[in-house]
Structure 1
Amino acid sequence: MKDNLPRLSASPEPWTRYRTLIDLCGRSEKDPDVVSARIAMLADPLVHSLMADLRGWPGKALSSHKSSSQVYHKLAFLSDIGIHSDDPGMPEILAAILALRDDDGVLCIGQRQVETAGNTVASKNIWALCDAPITMAAVAKMGLSEQPDFVRAATFLVNLGRDNGWPCRLSADAAPWRGPGRKQDPCPFATLAMLKLCAAVPALSQSVEADAGAHALLDLWQNSRELHPYMFYMGTDFRKLKVPFVWYDILNVTDTLSRDPSVRKDPRLQGMMDVIRAKALPDGTYAPESDWKPWADAGFAHKGDSSDWLTFLILRIEARLRA
């Protein structure tokens, strides 16, 4: 890791410089180099563009949760790089996000017209377990992780967990739907999303449900040739390195699991990390093996090109696993 710290600490990507100094070098937020990197990050055109996209929250409805253009994936990236709730432009964005909740306080990205008593029609906010936890994890990381109403809503979602992870689940007012799988099976992506939320909320990070979810994903890895619930596979495409975090892939799963100290020594997680390590370039950096087309202007996401951000993410996982 030390060989690439100078490179990452001087990266032209200000978010990579900022997170490297904080997460890998142990610098304080008050350190002059950290302050400089953060100022540059907040002024970066990509950050401004993503914030502009979020100002119309929830924006145009997109049918696929896998689309990297989904607003909650953009919000998640901003939280990953360290954008705070009080950074310029964020209070207005978060106000719009927090205004769209259901009766349990869960953050939503859509609405549905529902017939109520007396044959009247009401607009109801709706969510799915493959979007709400991503939004809520991002908001938690931006500074709301201990706000009581927020924790209660997150706890409501956590309590939907079972001994094999989280199911395919929608809010009560959403149109009836379930993915292509058995009702008793866990949804791998919903489980991944919920583990992100658990990791972002201290009161939930060591919950029984979080432990069950982590082991559910590890079991799927161990039995990846036989188990493919809801048609989520862990084969060739799953094992390709890809940034930013959007879907169910080896880097996203490994990064999320590495946040849980209780599974860091698990040989199944170490096995996933071995697959990632084998992809290192001769200089110790890493290159995406696939890319998200809407992120083409983000220099760190180009397929085949050495990526400072991707390299940082992998080195941070390594640091967690050594802790």
Structure 2
Amino acid sequence: MDCYNYIIENSEAWLQYAVRLNVRNENKKNLQELRTQVITDVKIKKYLHDITDFHSILVRNHKNPDLPIHKLIFLLDIGLDTDVPEIQAAVKEIMAHKDENGVYQSLTNVPKHFGGSGTDIFSWCLCDAPLLLYGLLKAGIDYEKHIKQGVDYLLNFYEPHGFPCTVSQELGKFRGPGRKADCCPYATLIMLRLLISISEYKDSDMVKESADALLSLWENSLERHPYMFYMGTDFRKLKAPTIWYDIVSVVDVLSQIDSVREDVRFKEMIQLIKNKQDENGFFTPESVYQKYKGWDFGQKKKPSSYLTYRCCLILERQVFKSDKKN
């Protein structure tokens, strides 16, 4: 069964739109009627409303599905852009808070006993700043004028074993629960997501080494879990969307890096995902975020068209790369 054809014929308008735009490469001008259905969908309208007041939620837990940055990236991923007023408003709000190094900031509050000031303050850490830069990049904001400076500054923190837990000066001595010398797996993952979207870095040694850092954690998953990021049973459960640190999120990024395609560790991760595909080619969530109740990926009883879409994109990249090599 062609899963994409099934999705186009049977799924909600927003996912039909994503497949026709991102997989079938149809012209946006020919999808205007479908796009209208997307932006009037009840769940999409809620997301658009939520991102307008972009800094309405304190960034305290980066895996919180309610964070506007996660919702903005989801909307951009399915093919919406700054032509939508709410997305334009969100982009303007992000760009209104940038430090002298070109890094965009989030509103957060770190208690004094964790090394912060205990007050609401605009600042950044390496587990949110890359997402803001990535979101602006996906929104089509001029890279040279508004994004490059921040990216270049964050690259100063790169180490051969990955990106460490790093925060801006506003957050004082705060850092996550782990050894200072370790890489932060999540920061490394989202920095990779950002860098592979930028032509000058996509094939860089920095990307290759950061990818290897994540693959090394997979290889040594029983012994190594820096900053309490595990690659155990929960990590290996299929989950959507790709907002945190799990096998779909990690392999989604790694599958876009040519240098890892023949790596045995990467192939193991690919095979684990592939083994969970049913006889019709679909995937069923094995873990869910409770706040996604009402979405087809917010349940574990039946296949999810959206999770299937994400997993099929991953598997097709690997097939394409192998064919390209041959």
Distance, in Å, in 2 between the alignment partners of 1:179 and 1:228 is: 13
Distance, in Å, in 2 between the alignment partners of 1:188 and 1:145 is: 28
Tell me the residue number matched to 1:12.
Answer: 11
Distance, in Å, in 2 between the alignment partners of 1:135 and 1:11 is: 33
- Determine if contact 1:102/1:124 at 8 Å carries over to the other structure: no
User: Once the 2 structures are TM-superposed, how far is the Cα of residue 315 of structure 1 from its aligned partner?
Assistant: 0.8
Q: Secondary structure at the match of 2:284?
A: coil
Distance, in Å, in 2 between the alignment partners of 1:123 and 1:239 is: 36
User: Once the 2 structures are TM-superposed, how far is the Cα of residue 37 of structure 1 from its aligned partner?
Assistant: 3.3
Specify which of 271, 275, 288 is matched with residue 272 of structure 2.
275
Specify which of 194, 198, 213 is matched with residue 216 of structure 1.
213
User: Once the 2 structures are TM-superposed, how far is the Cα of residue 88 of structure 1 from its aligned partner?
Assistant: 3.1
Matches within 5 A, 1:100-139: 100-110=97-107, 125-139=122-136
User: Once the 2 structures are TM-superposed, how far is the Cα of residue 95 of structure 1 from its aligned partner?
Assistant: 0.7
- Determine if contact 2:274/2:315 at 8 Å carries over to the other structure: no
Shift in alpha-carbon separation, 1:48–1:236, aligned structure 2, 3 A:
same
Letter in 2 for 1:283: N
* TM-score, structure 1 normalization: 0.90
Tell me the residue number matched to 1:80.
Answer: 77
Shift in alpha-carbon separation, 1:42–1:228, aligned structure 2, 3 A:
same
User: Once the 2 structures are TM-superposed, how far is the Cα of residue 62 of structure 1 from its aligned partner?
Assistant: 4.3
- Determine if contact 1:75/1:135 at 8 Å carries over to the other structure: no
Distance, in Å, in 2 between the alignment partners of 1:225 and 1:111 is: 33
In the alignment, is residue 286 of structure 1 matched against residue 255 of structure 2?
no
Deviations 1:102-155 (A, max 9, x none): 111111112679xxxxxxxx9963001111111221221111262433112112
Deviations 1:47-93 (A, max 9, x none): 21111111112112142112222222112212221221232322222
Tell me the residue number matched to 1:21.
Answer: 20
In the alignment, is residue 57 of structure 1 matched against residue 54 of structure 2?
yes
Letter in 1 for 2:137: A
Identity of aligned residues (%): 34
User: Once the 2 structures are TM-superposed, how far is the Cα of residue 251 of structure 1 from its aligned partner?
Assistant: 0.2
In the alignment, is residue 258 of structure 1 matched against residue 255 of structure 2?
yes
Distance, in Å, in 1 between the alignment partners of 2:253 and 2:196 is: 8
Distance, in Å, in 2 between the alignment partners of 1:178 and 1:82 is: 35
Letter in 2 for 1:308: S
In the alignment, is residue 318 of structure 1 matched against residue 325 of structure 2?
no
Distance, in Å, in 1 between the alignment partners of 2:295 and 2:109 is: 34
Shift in alpha-carbon separation, 1:92–1:199, aligned structure 2, 3 A:
same
Letter in 1 for 2:88: P
Give the number of aligned pairs.
Answer: 312
Distance, in Å, in 2 between the alignment partners of 1:5 and 1:71 is: 28
- Determine if contact 1:145/1:200 at 8 Å carries over to the other structure: no
Tell me the residue number matched to 1:48.
Answer: 45
User: Once the 2 structures are TM-superposed, how far is the Cα of residue 175 of structure 1 from its aligned partner?
Assistant: 2.9
More off after superposition, 208-217 vs 188-197: 208-217
Q: Secondary structure at the match of 1:110?
A: strand
Tell me the residue number matched to 1:308.
Answer: 305
- Determine if contact 1:75/1:138 at 8 Å carries over to the other structure: yes
Distance, in Å, in 1 between the alignment partners of 2:256 and 2:89 is: 30
Distance, in Å, in 2 between the alignment partners of 1:70 and 1:95 is: 17
Shift in alpha-carbon separation, 1:200–1:301, aligned structure 2, 3 A:
farther
Matches within 5 A, 1:191-210: 191-210=188-207
Q: Secondary structure at the match of 1:289?
A: coil
User: Once the 2 structures are TM-superposed, how far is the Cα of residue 205 of structure 1 from its aligned partner?
Assistant: 2.1
- Determine if contact 1:129/1:170 at 8 Å carries over to the other structure: yes
User: Once the 2 structures are TM-superposed, how far is the Cα of residue 18 of structure 1 from its aligned partner?
Assistant: 2.1
Tell me the residue number matched to 1:187.
Answer: 184
Specify which of 210, 232, 236 is matched with residue 235 of structure 1.
232
- Determine if contact 2:72/2:87 at 8 Å carries over to the other structure: no
Distance, in Å, in 1 between the alignment partners of 2:10 and 2:133 is: 30
Letter in 1 for 2:185: P
- Determine if contact 1:168/1:187 at 8 Å carries over to the other structure: yes
User: Once the 2 structures are TM-superposed, how far is the Cα of residue 312 of structure 1 from its aligned partner?
Assistant: 0.7
- Determine if contact 1:134/1:193 at 8 Å carries over to the other structure: yes
More off after superposition, 232-241 vs 193-202: 193-202
Gaps of 5+ in 2: 111-118, 321-326
- Determine if contact 2:296/2:306 at 8 Å carries over to the other structure: no
- Determine if contact 1:82/1:142 at 8 Å carries over to the other structure: no
Matches within 5 A, 1:31-42: 32=30, 34-42=31-39
* TM-score, structure 2 normalization: 0.89
Gaps of 5+ in 1: 114-121
More off after superposition, 247-256 vs 8-17: 8-17
